[in-house]
Amino acid sequence: MRVGVLVPYANTNLELDLHRFNIKKLNYYITRIGGYEIDKIPDYEQMKQMGETNLTEALKLINGVIPNAILYGCTSATFTHGLKFTRDLEKRITKICGCVAISASGALILAIKSLNINNVALASPYVGRINDQAIKFFFEAGIKIVSSSNIGENLTNYEQGKLSTEKIIKLACDADSKECDAIVLPCTDIKAVEVINIIENKIGKPVITSNQAMIFALLKSFNLKPDNSFPGKIFDLI
């Protein structure tokens, strides 16, 4: 099966993560998308701008491979616009391309709901207002952010992609609390997939990342089984 992937043009981790899961029945076809300025901090205004980008041409190009599914590979661009925007975006992609559409933020909701939980911790690599929008986004989906952490500095696009696994582990552990039932690590351009099992072993709770959640949604959509090596407790549900 063919999976089209819309990837922010400075993102250096999403494609690596997709191939890290090594699902033999899925082949990925990548289209880069813009709508933000590469030399600016990926803050609320930049990511909101990206979410507003016209995807008609990108979808026309990716539709050339007749995909069975399309992934929208940016989490914060939809966080900044809210849940309705995200659902409408997925519907628009399906209408234009005639296939399953999965957004990173929508996949996070699916993974959380599949675990039958509502209280989660947010471990965020984002800055300022995006974190507020993320909390609002999850609230609109019936999910409560009961504790959180953030990276504490304004990262550029490339600094976000290069964020060390040690810092990601600390970010997740700092977000943990007695009230939360899982840790959410959003963003398709951080190396979170590499440390899911490490974090889960440390805190004893499920860890959900954007790229992992999109794989989870793909498997669910096409009734495929995960490999035993796939990182994360959520794959025990399939």
DSSP string, 199-237: HHHHHSS-EEEHHHHHHHHHHHHTTPPPPTT--SGGGGG
- CATH entry, 2-107+211-237, from 3.40.50.12500, 3.40.710.10, 3.40.50.300, 2.60.40.10: 3.40.50.12500
**CATH assignment of 115-210, among 3.40.50.1860, 1.20.1050.10, 1.10.1060.10, 3.90.1310.10:** 3.40.50.1860
pLDDT in tens, the chain (238 residues): 999 999 998 999 999 999 999 898 999 999 999 988 888 888 878 888 888 889 999 999 999 999 999 999 999 999 999 999 999 999 999 999 999 999 999 999 999 999 999 999 999 999 889 999 999 999 999 999 999 999 988 888 889 999 999 999 999 999 999 999 999 999 999 999 999 999 999 999 999 999 999 999 999 999 999 999 999 999 999 9
Q: At 174, phi and psi to the nearest 5?
A: -65, -30
- Whether the CB-CB separation of 102 and 71 falls below 8 Å is answered with yes
Domain ranges of the chain: 2-107+211-237, 115-210
